[in-house]
Amino acid sequence: MILLSICLLQLAAGAQIKTGAEQTDLYLPMLSGKTVAVFANTTSVIGKTHLVDSLLKKGIRITKIFSPEHGFRGEADAGATVGNQVDAATGIPIISLYGNKTKPTAADLEGIDVMLFDIQDVGVRFYTYIASMQRYMEAAIENHRLLVILDRPDPNGFYVDGPVLDTAFRSFVGMQPIPIVYGMTIGEYARMLLGEHWVKGDTAFRLIVIPCKNYTHGSRYVLPVKPSPNLPTMQSVYLYPALCLFEGTPVSLGRGTSKPFQQFGHPAFPHEGYSFTPESVPGATHPPQMGEVCYGYDLSAINVEKATGNRWSLQWLLKAYALFPDKEHFFNGNGSGFDRLTGSSTLRQQLREGLTEDEIRKSWEPALSHFKTLRKKYLLYAD
């Protein structure tokens, strides 16, 4: 396999970050005269124009669009099945790669010369876009197609933390042995998949990553487009790594309100102070605790960096577990959903045993330190 990065650019102090997609001069020559498939969604933009529209105007022949969770236009519920469609704006067929089908088939790629990938990720293991990218890469390898990834900054790329996934718990919300917050752009992560042989392929396969300009892992990149319906603000993006674990419990994290991933609560929490009521809304048509008054905490105005110390914080999970009166039913079902998110059954057991956050954090070693060392081999940007 050949891992290529076009033009590793020097950081200019104070210069504006430019995504891979914005640097069209670096990749248009690879697409010109070719038949192109694009993996994209609503975040795939150049300025205020969708990538697909921009490329079509430049004469690039796009014959197929693939879309991830939430669909091509990005408004489907989390986990919802999105069927194949035709894009109304361009007439190009859209093939959904979320649900029963997660990888393009040989028939899907018939006549395709170049596979392009441009999705804004958030740098969290259970956010499904990296799983979609892996499946797309596998299809490129198996069908001997050139894969070009237009890189975008990782908005949570300034720290690495959390338990490393036990591969016995692999799922679409966690496919590889990486921590919950892994501190890599999607282009860097793709390089790791190949370099660590986590995807199989022949030696002739070429991955080309068009890197961001003027970005480092210390950058605080403000997303120009919300990455999914329930991550509407940067506050929600920063809180997402910690609050998403509530998806495996009855606790509401604000889906069905104006503050998803910025608050949490439950009807059984103490009936005092802050409250909210989830309702059916676009992007969250059947949210947990719909129509029920949930008592809890509003995190929408806190300083996340100060509250967490740039770590994957367990404080809100521990607080919710302490407040929940029926500990036997804190985890949905048999706990399998919670375990898939955390990457093992260990954290669930640690909560039941009453371990402190410091005790839990110590259990992540030495796997976490090993990953941090491994990660450095594949970075395209300074830490």
pLDDT digits (tens, 9 = 90+) for 343-355: 999 999 999 999 9
Residue 70 in this model has a pLDDT that exceeds 70:
no
* Residues found in the chain: 383
- Quote the pLDDT of residue 326: 96
Across 207-223, average pLDDT: 97
Residue 74 in this model has a pLDDT that exceeds 70:
no
In 3D space, the residue among 284, 267, 371 whose CA is nearest the CA of residue 323 turns out to be 267
- Quote the pLDDT of residue 5: 52
Two tokens, residue 240 = 């997402």
pTM for the whole thing? 0.93
- pLDDT band for position 99 (cuts 50, 70, 90): confident
CATH T-level assignment (fold) for domain 2-224:
Rossmann fold (3.40.50)
Residue 266 in this model has a pLDDT that exceeds 90:
yes
Dihedral over alpha carbons 39, 23, 153, 88 (to 10 degrees): -30
DSSP 17-65: PB-TTT-GGGTHHHHTTSEEEEEE-TT-EETTEEHHHHHHHTT-EEEEE
Residues 6+ apart with CB under 8 A from 200: 138, 141
Give domain limits for the chain.
Answer: 2-224, 234-344
User: How does pLDDT run across 243-255, given as a tens digit for each residue?
Assistant: 999 999 999 999 9
- pLDDT band for position 73 (cuts 50, 70, 90): low
Would strands 161-164 and 206-210 be described as parallel, antiparallel, or unpaired? unpaired
